[in-house]
Amino acid sequence: MTGGDAVASGPAPSWLLPLGLFSALVPLCGLSLLAGQVSLDPGQVLAGLAGTGDEAYGLIVWHLRVPRTLLAVLVGTSLGLAGAVLQGLLRNPLAEPGLIGISTTAALGAVLVFYGGFAAVFILALPLGGMAGAAVSVVLLMGLSGRGASTFTLILAGVAVNSLAGALTALALNLSDNPYAATEIIFWMLGSLADRGFDHVWIATVFMLPGWLLMLGTGRAMDALTLGEETAASLGFNLASLPWRSVLGTALAVGAAVSVSGAIGFIGLMVPHLLRPLVGHQPGRLLLASAIGGALLLVVTDIAVRLLPTEVELKIGVMTALLGAPFFFFLLWKMRRTQQ
């Protein structure tokens, strides 16, 4: 794997961290199958998985808990990966789909498609709407912030996009003929994994997978970009295509995720930050680790949301915000300190 003196120079092989994260993810997914409004013991869950025993167990496990867990993994992966890509591309540690408005515009796109009735006609229209919304804002943000623009500019741009998209979403919902629509904004803005089914899983996967591949493929170019654009070009990388591949990948994955689970924030901010020191700050190595780390964090959060003794289940976006906002403050404080 590495040459003779690599041991002396320090960091562990690149596959160690993703493997470690993955091996933590698997048991947590098992735990996720145990969490729910009806308390089932492991034996009953296993019986449900195997299709033996009471039919009700099978229904609950296969139709409710398995899709929910899968969706947490898929959405978490997409958000973690997108956060790492955006931070590498924009060379800004505060870039993440929620903060800079990509999730909100994706929600707007999904809302327009769903309440406009298009999703009823063609089910894949829903993630397509999410993707279109996400793509619009990524392109807009890249244009506004340029390459390596200041954090201040980027966050302001994000605030503007978030406000506008949020307002338009509320408007679209209020204009809907359906009386329930007006209160459903909470789902779109805060996100939820509750009562999702395999339908949601597969329509999300169809677009997430190519999105992930595109994003993971930008790893080497981003590593090269560490040395600046000219050196990266001299190392043989086509820098013109990099932003577009990142945009498309992010739009595909985040758009699909938001269209089935609403806008869940802060995963893309926290995970890359926590893992960056463990990958020696190398943007390419961060990608896979953030993907799995994102899945891990969202699964954990989703379990917590189900274990909380609230009357109505807490929206998962509230939980991620409760974790993420203090984290964000901490980041800002750290940045101010290094500036001084």
Partner 1 sequence: MSTAVAAFLLAVLLWPSVSAAKPERIVSINLCADQMLLALAERHAIASLSRLVADREISAAAVEEIEGIPLNGGRAEEVLALAPDLVVAGRHAARATIFVLKKLGYRVMELDIARSIAEIRESIRILGTAIGEGQRAEKLIKAIDARLRRLAPAASGARLGAVYYQPNGLAAGGDSLVDDVISRAGLINLAAGLGVRGQGRLPLEMLIMARPHILIVDAGRPQAPALAFQVLDHPALTALTEKAITVAIPQRLWICGLPATIEATERLAKLRQSAARRNQ
Partner 2 sequence: MIRLQAEAISVAYNGRQALAAVGATVEDGEVVGLVGPNGAGKTTLLKTCAGLLEPERGAVLFEDKPLAEWRPAALARRLAYLPQGASYAWPLRVRRLIALGRLPHLPPWRRPSPNDEAAIDRAMRLADVAHLAGRTADALSGGERARVMLARALAVEPRLLLADEPVSGLDPRHQLQVMEVLKGLAEGGASVVVTLHDLSLAARFCDRLVLLRDGKMMAEGAPAEVLSTVNLETVFGVRAVSGRQDGSLYLLPWQVVNGPEGTAPADKM
Task: Provide the minimum distance between the beta carbon of 242 and partner 2 in the complex, in angstroms, as a whole number.
Answer: 13
Binder among 34, 181, 220, 314 for partner 2 (CB under 8 A): 220
Q: How far apart are CA 250 and CA 218, in angstroms?
A: 11
266: closest CA among 327, 225, 203? 327
Specify the DSSP class assigned to residue 11.
P
Q: Which does 91 bind (CB under 5 to 8 A by kind): partner 2, partner 1, none?
A: partner 2
Residue 143 makes contact with partner 2 by CB under 8 A: no
Residue 171 makes contact with partner 1 by CB under 8 A: no
Q: Pick the closer one to partner 1 by CB: 56 or 159.
A: 56
To the nearest 10°, report the CA torsion of 150, 151, 154, 155.
-150
Q: Pick the closer one to partner 2 by CB: 129 or 293.
A: 293
Residue 63 makes contact with partner 1 by CB under 8 A: yes
Residue 142 makes contact with partner 1 by CB under 8 A: no
Q: Pick the closer one to partner 2 by CB: 92 or 250.
A: 92
Binder among 234, 308, 325, 334 for partner 2 (CB under 8 A): 234
**What is the number of alpha carbons within 13 Å of residue 200 lying toward its C-beta?**
25
Task: Provide the minimum distance between the beta carbon of 283 and partner 2 in the complex, in angstroms, as a whole number.
Answer: 6
Provide φ and ψ at 273, rounded to 5°.
-65, -45
Count of residues making up the chain: 340
Q: Which does 220 bind (CB under 5 to 8 A by kind): partner 2, partner 1, none?
A: partner 2
Binder among 13, 30, 42, 117 for partner 1 (CB under 8 A): 117
Continuous H helices in the chain: 6-9, 16-34, 42-50, 55-58, 66-89, 102-115, 118-121, 125-145, 151-175, 185-190, 198-216, 219-225, 229-234, 241-261, 267-275, 283-307, 316-339
Residue 60 makes contact with partner 1 by CB under 8 A: yes
Interacting residues toward partner 1 by CB under 8 A = 36-38, 55-56, 59-60, 63-64, 114-115, 117, 119-120, 176-181, 184, 187, 195, 197-199, 311-313
